[in-house]
Amino acid sequence: MNLIKEQKTKFDKLGITTYAQLALLIPHSYEDYRLHDKLMEHKYQLIDATVESVFHASSTIQITFFVHNFGHTIKGVLFRPKPYMIHQFSVGSRDNYYGMIECKQGQCSIIMPKKIAQVGDIVPKYKCGLRTDVMWRFVQKELTAEKLVQEGIPEDIAQTLLALHFVKEDILDKSELDTKSIEALKFAELFSYMKILKDKRRYFKALVSVNAEYDTWAKSLPFVLTKEQVNAIDDIKKDLAKESAAKRMIVGDVGSGKTMVILASAYMIEKSKSILMAPTTILAQQLYEEAVKFLPDLRVVLVTNKSKKENLDEYDFIIGTHALLYRELPSAALVMVDEQHRFGTKQRSMLEKVVSEGEYKPHFLQFSATPIPRTLAMIESAHIDVSLITSTPFTKDIDSRVIHKDDFKELVVHIKEEIQKNNQVLIVYPLVTKSEVLEYQSIEEARAYWENNFDDVYVTHGKDKEKEQVLVDFREKGSVLISTTVVEVGISLPRLTTVVIVGAERLGLSTLHQLRGRVSRTGLKGYCYLYTNQNTSNRLDKFVETKSGFDIANLDLKFRKSGDLLKGTNQSGNEFRWFDFADDLEIVKAVKKSLA
| DSSP classification of residue 325 | G
Q: How high is the pLDDT of residue 575?
A: 61
Q: Are residues 268 and 308 in the same domain?
A: yes
User: Average pLDDT, whole number, for the chain?
Assistant: 87
Q: Are residues 428 and 349 in the same domain?
A: no
23-52: average pLDDT? 90
Q: Is residue 313 part of a domain?
A: yes
Q: Are residues 436 and 542 in the same domain?
A: yes
How many domains does one find in the chain?
A: 4
Task: Give Cα 112 to chain centroid, integer Å.
Answer: 45
Q: How high is the pLDDT of residue 427?
A: 95
Q: How high is the pLDDT of residue 400?
A: 95
Q: Are residues 167 and 249 in the same domain?
A: no
Q: Are residues 318 and 359 in the same domain?
A: yes
Q: Give the DSSP per-residue string, 40-108.
A: -TTSEEEEEEEEEEEEE-SSEEEEEEEETTTTEEEEEEEES--HHHHTT--TT-EEEEEEEEEEETTEE
Q: How confident is the model at residue 577 (pLDDT cuts 50, 70, 90)?
A: confident
Q: How high is the pLDDT of residue 3?
A: 56
Q: Is the pLDDT of residue 571 over 50?
A: no
11-31: average pLDDT? 91
Domain boundary among 340, 359, 389: 389
Q: Is residue 565 part of a domain?
A: no
290-306: average pLDDT? 94
Q: How high is the pLDDT of residue 111?
A: 93
Q: How confident is the model at residue 560 (pLDDT cuts 50, 70, 90)?
A: low
Q: Is residue 235 part of a domain?
A: yes
Q: Is residue 477 part of a domain?
A: yes
Q: Is residue 561 part of a domain?
A: no
Give pLDDT tens digits for 345-371: 777 777 777 777 778 899 999 998 888
Q: How high is the pLDDT of residue 487?
A: 65
Q: Is residue 562 part of a domain?
A: no
Q: How confident is the model at residue 568 (pLDDT cuts 50, 70, 90)?
A: very low
Q: Are residues 214 and 346 in the same domain?
A: yes
Least confident window among 146-160, 458-472, 477-491 = 477-491
Least confident window among 29-38, 160-169, 435-444, 572-581 = 572-581
Q: Are residues 233 and 355 in the same domain?
A: yes
Q: What does the alpha-carbon distance between residue 185 and residue 153 come to, in Å, rounded to a whole number?
A: 11
401-423: average pLDDT? 95
State the chain's maximal CA–CA distance in angstroms: 101
Between β-strands 424-428 and 363-368, what pairing exists: parallel, antiparallel or unpaired? Answer: unpaired
Q: Are 343 and 567 in contact (CB under 8 A)?
A: no
% the chain with pLDDT above 90: 50
Q: Is the pLDDT of residue 173 over 70?
A: no
| pTM summary value | 0.74
163-167: average pLDDT? 90
Task: Note the helical H segments in 454-584.
Answer: 467-477, 509-516, 538-545, 549-559
Q: Is residue 372 part of a domain?
A: yes
Q: Are residues 288 and 336 in the same domain?
A: yes
Q: Are residues 45 and 26 in the same domain?
A: no
Q: Is residue 555 part of a domain?
A: no
Q: What does the alpha-carbon distance between residue 231 and residue 211 come to, in Å, rounded to a whole number?
A: 17
Q: How high is the pLDDT of residue 171?
A: 65
Q: Is the pLDDT of residue 572 over 50?
A: no
Q: Are 45 and 63 in contact (CB under 8 A)?
A: no
Q: How confident is the model at residue 504 (pLDDT cuts 50, 70, 90)?
A: very high
CATH number of the CATH domain containing 43 = 2.40.50.140
Q: Are residues 171 and 211 in the same domain?
A: no
Phi, psi of 495 (to 5 degrees): -95, 0
Q: Are residues 10 and 71 in the same domain?
A: no
Q: Is the pLDDT of residue 221 over 90?
A: yes
158-174: average pLDDT? 82
Least confident window among 259-273, 387-401, 405-419 = 387-401
Q: What does the alpha-carbon distance between residue 385 and residue 262 come to, in Å, rounded to a whole number?
A: 16
Host domain of residue 325: 205-389
Q: Name the 3-class secondary structure at 406.
A: helix
Burial of 374 (0-12, 13-18, 19+ CB in 10 A): middle
CATH number of the CATH domain containing 342 = 3.40.50.300
Q: How high is the pLDDT of residue 177?
A: 84
Q: How high is the pLDDT of residue 490?
A: 59
Q: Is the pLDDT of residue 409 over 90?
A: yes
Task: Give Cα 440 to chain centroid, integer Å.
Answer: 29
Q: Are residues 542 and 410 in the same domain?
A: yes
Q: What does the alpha-carbon distance between residue 402 and residue 503 come to, in Å, rounded to a whole number?
A: 11
Q: How confident is the model at residue 567 (pLDDT cuts 50, 70, 90)?
A: very low
